[in-house]
Amino acid sequence: MPAKKDDSSQSRNRGLKTEINPLLLSSNPNLIRRQYKGQNPYLSTYGVEDRKIRKRFEKGLKFHEKGEVSATIERERESLKIVKEQELQRKQSETQHQEEMKRKVKNAELPDTTIGEEKFAPSRTPVVEWWDKPFLGHQLQILPRYTANTIAAENEESENEDDEHPSIRYVEHPTPIKVETSRPVTKVYLTKNEQKRIRRNKRKLQREEHEARIKMGLDPPLEPKVSLRNMMNVYENNQNISDPTAWESTVKQQVASRKRKHQETNATRHEEAQQNKKSKNKTATTGNHCRVFRFQSLSNPRIRYKLKTNAQQLSLNGLCLRVGNNGGGIIVIAGSEKSCKFYDKLVTRRIHWDENFEDRETNETIDMKGNHAEKMWEGEWEEPSWGPFFMKICSDEQELREQLRQRNAEHLITSINGK
């Protein structure tokens, strides 16, 4: 049977197991005050002489009279209000003074100080202008040598001399002012080889700079591009290959990582190019410019390829309809003014409609003499209803008109042959 523990030990183990506060160990407050003097600033200092406390009690309590604080605040508000009114009046007077000065300067009553007119204001009105002084004497009479008779005589005598040696003493030659404006830099267009050479030299300088930074320890060295082909040459001097299989798997992982990174970079570049292309197409001004052409025959496959490819590259809308494989037809394009102008030159100038060609099936030369194309109409279409450019062969002229009627464009053509 287990022995019972002592009750005293049980009583000691009860509670929160926290030591008792030392202030509770003694019931004498004077003893506690002397022991812990200066440690607790919140203990009462009764019985201790304190000059500051005694002086404060000797002065007594002073209370504000009713309305004293509010009256002081009101006086401060009034003084502040007066200061603000004076400042506002001062600003208004300054503004009026400036406007009055501007009006006087505008009416030429005062010199304009911004351009330095006050420096040229004369102190008094001169009796004779400065350009008349060389021709007048002390009594303000015209000098004899400048009278009409004297001048006429001198002109007759020195007429031949003036013809041979014209006088320039009355010509004013002002000091030329140097214009400090930089000339516009003309744009230099480089050839393909020059562009390649500049790019090659630029990449070379960047590579040399990177190598120099690696040598100085500013950049970490590049990791070697290890493959199964050069694995032994790379690692035989650096580490001892104890497990070739593990090294081979490591090299394969590095190769796969480089390939994956390369593909991701290419995919990102391709996506950015596509986004730029889409945004450029969206921001491009398509416009409502429209042009209509008529042709006699479109049996030459080379001409059909040129028409379709250029329309797609120029982002043009419209259609190309023809009756049968060798019949006449119509071309309608809609888009920006620049694209329509380029396509117009293609149809009317660059394409040789009367050029003979060889049929691939029969190997016969097809004579296209007399075939031509002409522009019927050009202008702006208020409500364009054309989709992407396409080409279609119609069975007859009625079907061709039906295609145009669906797009509200039947009025563009009265007859394919112009009858």
Q: What is the mean pLDDT of the chain?
A: 81
List pLDDT tens digits, range 232-264.
777 765 556 677 788 889 889 999 999 999 999
Q: Within 10 A of 341 (CB to CB), how many other CB atoms are there?
A: 13
* Rounded-to-10 torsion of CA 70, 71, 73, 75: 160
**Residue found by looking up tokens 């409502």 in the block:** 288
β-sheet bridge partners, residue 404: none
CATH 3.10.20.30 fits 286-358+365-412, yes or no: no
Please state the rounded mean pLDDT for residues 64-92.
92
In the prediction, which pLDDT does 184 show? 80
C-alpha–C-alpha distance, residues 99 and 95, integer Å: 6
Write down the pLDDT at residue 99. 92
Which of the four pLDDT bands, split at 50, 70 and 90, describes residue 417? very low
Q: Is the pLDDT of residue 121 over 80?
A: no
Q: Which of 194-203, 345-354, 400-409 has the highest mean pLDDT?
A: 194-203
Contact 198, 190 (CB under 8 A): yes
CA dihedral (404, 407, 412, 414) positive or negative: positive
Sheet holding 390-394, edge to edge: 373-380, 289-295, 329-335, 317-323, 390-394
> Is 364's pLDDT higher than 80?
yes
**The predicted structure's pLDDT at residue 2:** 46
Please say if the pLDDT value at position 385 is more than 70: yes
62-76, 98-112, 250-264, 281-295: segment of lowest average pLDDT? 281-295
SS (H, E, C) 287-321: CCEEEEEEECCCCCHHHHHHHHHHHHHCCCEEEEE
In angstroms, rounded to a whole number, what is the distance separating the alpha carbons of residues 413 and 293?
10
Evaluate if residue 15 carries a pLDDT over 60: no
Q: What pLDDT is attached to residue 411?
A: 81
The whole-number pLDDT of residue 171 equals: 61
Report pLDDT digits (tens) over 305-348.
Answer: 999 999 999 989 999 999 988 888 999 999 888 999 999 999 99
The segment with the largest mean pLDDT, out of 20-34, 37-51, 335-349, is 335-349
Task: Report which listed range, 197-206, 228-237, 409-418, is most confident.
Answer: 197-206
Q: For 196-205, how does the pLDDT look when each residue is reduced to its tens digit (9 = 90+)?
A: 999 999 999 9
Domain parsing of the chain, residue ranges:
286-358+365-412
- Does pTM top 0.95 for this prediction? no
